[in-house]
């Protein structure tokens, strides 16, 4: 695309390739840091003991240290100061030639945390200092080989004003402290475990600390501490509970014990992501750790529990065994997401968790796989690694680990994990090493399976069943194909575990015998699809069965099987696998909705079949189903999922069809919704457990449907809930359904909510998000006005996500308005944000990368905006990568 004035990304000189990996020329054994904290000018002194790497490719490679935005003030080799012509600093690297094989290097740099709005490296958040070093932030603190295969032992001394920064934290154990004459004090920390620089962290501030403890399986006492700003002191309990649950779970499930005597959590308001697993000092976005029933929803509680688990689990899957290079990111992230998903499933409801995870994968990861940003779980090139913290690396990566477990069984998987941790403790390794441990522990060949790491795209599995009454044989044909993705025209067949059961007319799963097996056994099979097409013959099948396929979503594929609405309704009512039961309902709803989309497009009168309403009614009124499963079953596929299912996305028709089905169900089932609402609306005080959450979720689902009608009764239910609610779950559910209507009460209640919560930034984020998520036609106008609200802060990622992110990424119908106003708005924000925080800008702009999925008019509008970004002077490489690949 020469007319954009930039080269295509393939030839971009900044592209990094997996195939170019080389071991480092030097290793760092120890690093001693002294950091004199001052917001305007922080002085960093670093002392490195360095050794030539015996595994280096050439014996005379120079030492290369990474550094970015550093002022170098001194450099000494074995105690002798170097003059400026004895080293080179170029393109973010400090290069030293002809060093001895063993050498001590001392480096002094000055940095400016108060100017750091990118939130990478050392920065200021409110009155505290904090760091973020993954992936390449340590090079903004000092010159260092900032790559994960260089693992060193850290000793860190922090020096700061004692009044302003009474708390000084870093990794490992505190070993010494003292005071100075000038009002400053210092604390030294020592981390006995060698680690890559991305796991370094420090925190300083005037923080409240809540303490707890945990006894490990071997009887060691670990001190747990959570540090928060004083106004949040009442919000720590859930995080500490979750942490103890996670520590226990990892011992019981993986036999993994915590290794230091102290484990610390910190909450900060300004943070690009959810949280970070720094050794012994996990740092959290305040929104992912702080909670009280009054300020946090069930979804927040759930999320906090899983993120606390996630970061804690990294201590083994990521820290003790780390990544050789950033192409291996899924080694730690995919595996750790898998671990946190199982943790949540074990502690709450397994089927509810599985459905939620699959929903996320289908609506976001499948969409990424179908976009110009599609990439393998182990990417083979990148321009900016920050752009690869994606749903593909994280969530598809977790599915890849889950498939391994599906193929080698739970016991085999545990053996494989044990071998992996034992073999690689203290090492920086690759996804191939992970798979090799699984193979070696079980003697199962996973070589074909490894294509899941290297090939991008969502495979399409087609299934066809044929029953022969004469031979009592059910023949199942499975075939696969995978669409092309950037740089990968043709794919080799994947090794796909497909779990199958055969149901009789009452929904009972039949005992199975596959041709060639010598006996009938069990009621399900994990079929292994390895060829382009394969046949599986079930014998001794007495009556024509209904096949229940891909149970529990045993592989991250799209399943195509022609099913009538009747068959789907049957599975929706009867499949014993809760996941497939839900999935049948979703398929039924999608088929129905897409049919309605066509009706909208043809200008027909919309009609909803009674059969559909009855199927949903039966589920709603089911007497024994878990309330949370009912909620999930009655939640219609999202507009973005429906978009993904369409050949060319018609956002307005999709929106109209979905609102129509909501209103039809609400009208027809009004009495049921109202009755169930009241039955689940008790005055119980808030508890975080699966049963209470299930009750609230069903109640609020009913409220949502009721509010689709404009009956006075529904409004009253909503207003009463807003007046009486004593937890944020109920308040927010009512307020969000109210925000879909332009009634005078809407603004009154929004105003009151603001008045009540203006002191609490996490709650105010919700207030912004509710308004940005409204389907009302003037939402963009409102969002623009809110940008100037005193509570909005452009430098705070949570605010940007709540207002701009919510509008552009989760309000499909308003963002994609046909006049292009949403696109222009996004572009203006991205260009402004790119100068402040490139990571955030790149995340926001990625929503434009799917432009080819829309109609010609929108394609033009979106392309115009992408080109506008590309032609702006000096865009970051983060944003450049997303935009240029989107246009390629």
Binding site for ligand PHE (CB under 6 A): 132, 134, 272-273, 275-277, 310-311, 333, 389
Q: What does 708 interact with, of Zn ion, ligand PHE, none (CB < 5 to 8 A by kind)?
A: none
Q: How far is the CB of 529 from Zn ion (least distance, A)?
A: 30
Considering the complex, state which of residue 322 and residue 798 has its C-beta at the smaller distance from Zn ion: 322
Q: How far is the CB of 561 from ligand PHE (least distance, A)?
A: 35
- Six token digits for residue 371: 């976009």
- The Cα–Cα gap between 589 and 615 comes to 10
Do 441 and 477 form a contact (C-beta atoms < 8 A)?
no
Q: How far is the CB of 135 from ligand PHE (least distance, A)?
A: 6
Q: What does 273 interact with, of Zn ion, ligand PHE, none (CB < 5 to 8 A by kind)?
A: ligand PHE
Which letter does DSSP use for residue 61 in this model? P
Kindly indicate which of the ranges 334-342, 480-488, 545-553, 668-676 contains the residues binding Zn ion, using the contact rule CB under 5 A.
334-342
| Closest C-alpha among 50, 3, 45, 1 to residue 25 | 50
Q: How far is the CB of 139 from Zn ion (least distance, A)?
A: 21
Considering the complex, state which of residue 131 and residue 737 has its C-beta at the smaller distance from ligand PHE: 131
Q: How far is the CB of 760 from ligand PHE (least distance, A)?
A: 24
Q: What does 149 interact with, of Zn ion, ligand PHE, none (CB < 5 to 8 A by kind)?
A: none
* Intra-chain end-to-end CA distance of the chain, in Å: 7
- Six token digits for residue 270: 């300004």
Q: Which residues are catalytically annotated?
A: 311
Kindly indicate which of the ranges 180-188, 201-209, 252-260, 328-336 contains the residues binding Zn ion, using the contact rule CB under 5 A.
328-336
Q: Which residues contact 29 (CB under 8 A, 6 or more apart)?
A: 49, 50, 51, 152, 153
Starting at the earlier edge strand, list the strands of the sheet with 281-285: 208-215, 221-228, 262-268, 281-285, 275-276
Q: How far is the CB of 272 from ligand PHE (least distance, A)?
A: 6
**26-36 and 80-81: which strand pairing?**
unpaired
- The Cα–Cα gap between 729 and 736 comes to 11
- The Cα–Cα gap between 95 and 64 comes to 5
- The Cα–Cα gap between 118 and 112 comes to 12
| Closest C-alpha among 509, 502, 507 to residue 472 | 502
Do 321 and 149 form a contact (C-beta atoms < 8 A)?
no
Give the relative orientation of helices 651-668 and 578-601 as an angle to the nearest 10 degrees: 120
Binding-site size for Zn ion (CB under 5 A) equals 2
- The Cα–Cα gap between 744 and 750 comes to 10
> Which residue bears the tokens 């509010």?
707
Residue 533: beta bridge partners? 479
Q: How many CB atoms lie within 10 A of CB 602?
A: 8
Q: How far is the CB of 375 from Zn ion (least distance, A)?
A: 18
| Closest C-alpha among 493, 463, 465, 498 to residue 481 | 493
Considering the complex, state which of residue 217 and residue 836 has its C-beta at the smaller distance from ligand PHE: 836
Do 687 and 254 form a contact (C-beta atoms < 8 A)?
no
Considering the complex, state which of residue 272 and residue 829 has its C-beta at the smaller distance from ligand PHE: 272
Do 235 and 761 form a contact (C-beta atoms < 8 A)?
no
Cα 538–chain centre separation:
39
Largest distance between two CA atoms of the chain: 96
Considering the complex, state which of residue 384 and residue 583 has its C-beta at the smaller distance from ligand PHE: 384
User: Between the CA of residue 306 and those of 88, 182, 242, 289, 343, what are the distances in Å?
Assistant: 46, 44, 8, 10, 7
Do 118 and 876 form a contact (C-beta atoms < 8 A)?
no
**Backbone Cα Rg of the chain:** 28
Kindly indicate which of the ranges 167-175, 330-338, 347-355, 522-530 contains the residues binding Zn ion, using the contact rule CB under 5 A.
330-338
Considering the complex, state which of residue 389 and residue 794 has its C-beta at the smaller distance from ligand PHE: 389
CA angle 208, 213, 219 (to 5 degrees): 160
Do 459 and 480 form a contact (C-beta atoms < 8 A)?
yes
Q: Which residues of 803-839 are buried (b: 16+ CB within 10 A; e: fewer)?
A: bbbbbbbbbbbbbbbeebebbebbbebbbebbeebbb
Q: Which residues of 768-802 are buried (b: 16+ CB within 10 A; e: fewer)?
A: bbbbbbbbeeebbebbeebeeeebbebebbbbbbb
Considering the complex, state which of residue 278 and residue 681 has its C-beta at the smaller distance from ligand PHE: 278
Q: What does 389 interact with, of ligand PHE, Zn ion, none (CB < 5 to 8 A by kind)?
A: ligand PHE
Q: How far is the CB of 360 from Zn ion (least distance, A)?
A: 15
- Six token digits for residue 827: 């572009």
Which letter does DSSP use for residue 196 in this model? -
Tell me the residue number closest to ligand PHE, measured at CB. Answer: 273
Kindly indicate which of the ranges 39-47, 142-150, 335-343, 418-426 contains the residues binding Zn ion, using the contact rule CB under 5 A.
335-343
Count of positions (residues) in the chain: 888
Q: How far is the CB of 260 from ligand PHE (least distance, A)?
A: 18
Q: What does 247 interact with, of Zn ion, ligand PHE, none (CB < 5 to 8 A by kind)?
A: none
> Which residue bears the tokens 């998000």?
769
Q: How far is the CB of 198 from ligand PHE (least distance, A)?
A: 8
Considering the complex, state which of residue 298 and residue 333 has its C-beta at the smaller distance from Zn ion: 333
Considering the complex, state which of residue 264 and residue 642 has its C-beta at the smaller distance from Zn ion: 264
Q: How far is the CB of 797 from ligand PHE (least distance, A)?
A: 11
Considering the complex, state which of residue 272 and residue 798 has its C-beta at the smaller distance from ligand PHE: 272
Considering the complex, state which of residue 315 and residue 485 has its C-beta at the smaller distance from ligand PHE: 315
Do 631 and 676 form a contact (C-beta atoms < 8 A)?
no
Kindly indicate which of the ranges 59-67, 329-337, 585-593, 730-738 contains the residues binding Zn ion, using the contact rule CB under 5 A.
329-337
- The Cα–Cα gap between 33 and 577 comes to 55
Q: What does 878 interact with, of Zn ion, ligand PHE, none (CB < 5 to 8 A by kind)?
A: none
> Which residue bears the tokens 């050392």?
122
Q: What does 276 interact with, of ligand PHE, Zn ion, none (CB < 5 to 8 A by kind)?
A: ligand PHE
Considering the complex, state which of residue 276 and residue 693 has its C-beta at the smaller distance from ligand PHE: 276
Q: How far is the CB of 340 from Zn ion (least distance, A)?
A: 8
Site mask for Zn ion (CB under 5 A), range 280-319, x = bound: ----------------------------------------
Residue ranges that bind Zn ion, judged by CB under 5 A? 333, 336
């Amino acid at each position: 695309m020469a007319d954009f004035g930039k080269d295509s990304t393939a030839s971009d000189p900044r592209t990094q390739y997996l195939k170019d990996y080389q071991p480092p020329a030097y290793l760092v054994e120890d690093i001693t840091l002294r950091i004199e904290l001052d917001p305007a000018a922080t002085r960093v002194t670093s002392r490195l003991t360095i050794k030539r790497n015996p595994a280096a490719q050439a014996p005379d490679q120079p030492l290369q240290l990474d550094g970015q935005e550093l002022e170098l003030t001194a450099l000494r080799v074995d105690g002798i100061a170097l003059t400026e012509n004895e080293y080179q600093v170029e393109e973010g690297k400090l290069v030293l030639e002809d060093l001895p094989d063993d050498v001590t290097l001392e480096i002094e740099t000055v940095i400016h945390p108060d100017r750091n709005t990118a939130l990478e490296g050392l920065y200021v958040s409110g009155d505290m200092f904090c760091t973020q070093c993954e992936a390449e932030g340590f090079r903004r603190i000092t010159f260092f080989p900032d790559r994960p295969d260089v693992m060193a032992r850290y000793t860190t001394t922090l020096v700061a004003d004692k009044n302003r920064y009474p708390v000084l934290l870093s990794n490992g154990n505190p070993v010494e402290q003292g005071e100075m004459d000038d009002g400053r004090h210092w604390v030294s920390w020592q981390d006995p475990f060698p680690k890559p620089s991305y796991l370094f962290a420090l925190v300083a501030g005037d923080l409240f600390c809540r303490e707890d403890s945990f006894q490990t399986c071997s009887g060691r006492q670990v001190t747990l501490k959570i540090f928060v700003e004083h106004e949040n002191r009442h919000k720590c309990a859930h995080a500490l509970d979750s942490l103890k649950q996670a520590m226990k779970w990892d011992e019981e499930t993986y036999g993994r014990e915590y290794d230091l005597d102290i484990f610390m959590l910190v909450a900060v308001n300004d943070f690009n992501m959810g949280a970070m697993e720094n050794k012994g000092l996990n740092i959290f976005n305040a929104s992912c750790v702080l909670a009280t029933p009054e300020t946090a929803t069930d979804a927040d509680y759930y999320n906090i529990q899983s993120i606390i688990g996630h970061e804690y689990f990294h201590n083994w899957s990521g820290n003790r065994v780390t990544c050789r290079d950033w192409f291996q990111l899924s080694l730690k992230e995919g595996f750790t997401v898998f671990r946190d998903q199982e943790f949540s499933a074990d502690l709450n409801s397994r089927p509810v968790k599985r459905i939620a995870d699959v929903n996320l994968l289908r609506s976001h990861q499948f969409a990424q796989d179908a976009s110009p940003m599609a990439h393998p779980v182990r990417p083979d090139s990148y321009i900016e690694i920050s752009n690869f913290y994606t749903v593909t690396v994280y969530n598809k990566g977790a599915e890849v680990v889950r498939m391994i477990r599906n193929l080698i069984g739970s016991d085999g998987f545990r053996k494989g994990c044990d071998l992996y941790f034992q073999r690689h403790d203290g090492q920086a390794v690759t996804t191939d090493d992970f798979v090799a441990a699984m193979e070696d522990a079980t003697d199962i060949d996973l070589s074909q399976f490894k294509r899941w790491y290297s090939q991008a795209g969502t495979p399409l599995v087609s299934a066809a069943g044929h029953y022969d009454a004469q031979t009592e044989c059910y023949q199942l044909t499975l075939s696969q194909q995978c669409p092309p993705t950037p740089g990968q025209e043709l794919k080799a067949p994947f090794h796909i575990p497909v779990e199958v059961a055969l149901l009789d007319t009452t929904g009972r799963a039949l005992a199975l015998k596959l041709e060639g097996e010598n006996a009938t056994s069990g009621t399900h099979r994990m079929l292994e699809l390895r060829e382009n097409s394969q046949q599986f013959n079930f014998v001794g099948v007495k009556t024509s069965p209904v096949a229940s396929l891909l149970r529990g979503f045993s592989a991250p594929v799209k399943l195509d099987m022609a099913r009538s609405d009747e068959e789907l309704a049957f599975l929706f009512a009867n499949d014993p696998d809760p996941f497939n039961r839900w999935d049948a309902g979703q398929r039924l709803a999608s088929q129905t909705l897409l049919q309605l989309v066509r009706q909208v497009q043809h200008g027909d009168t919309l009609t909803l079949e009674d059969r559909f309403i009855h199927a949903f009614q039966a589920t709603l009124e089911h007497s024994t189903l878990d309330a949370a499963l009912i909620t999930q079953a009655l939640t219609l596929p999202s507009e973005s999922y429906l978009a993904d299912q369409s050949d060319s996305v018609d956002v307005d028709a999709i929106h109209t069809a979905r609102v129509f089905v909501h209103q039809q169900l609400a009208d027809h089932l009004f009495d049921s919704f109202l009755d169930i609402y009241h039955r689940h609306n008790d005055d119980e005080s808030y508890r975080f457990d699966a049963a209470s959450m299930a009750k609230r979720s069903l109640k609020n689902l009913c409220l949502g449907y009721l509010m689709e009608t404009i009956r006075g009764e529904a409004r009253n239910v909503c207003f009463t809930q807003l007046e009486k609610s004593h937890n944020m779950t109920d308040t927010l559910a009512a307020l969000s359904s109210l925000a879909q209507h332009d009634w005078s009460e809407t603004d009154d209640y929004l105003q009151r909510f603001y008045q009540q919560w203006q002191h609490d930034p996490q709650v105010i984020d919700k207030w912004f998000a509710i308004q940005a998520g409204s389907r009302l036609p003037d939402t963009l106008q409102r969002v623009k006005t809110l940008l100037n609200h005193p509570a909005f802060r452009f430098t705070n990622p949570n605010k940007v996500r709540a207002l701009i992110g919510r509008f552009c990424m989760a309000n499909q119908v308003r963002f994609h308005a046909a006049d292009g106003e949403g696109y222009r708005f996004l572009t203006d924000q991205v260009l402004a944000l790119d100068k402040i925080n490139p990571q955030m800008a790149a995340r926001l702009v990625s929503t434009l990368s799917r432009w080819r999925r829309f109609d010609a008019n929108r394609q033009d509008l979106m392309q115009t905006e992408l080109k506008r970004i590309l032609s702006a002077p000096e865009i970051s490489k983060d944003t450049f990568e997303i935009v240029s690949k989107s246009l390629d």
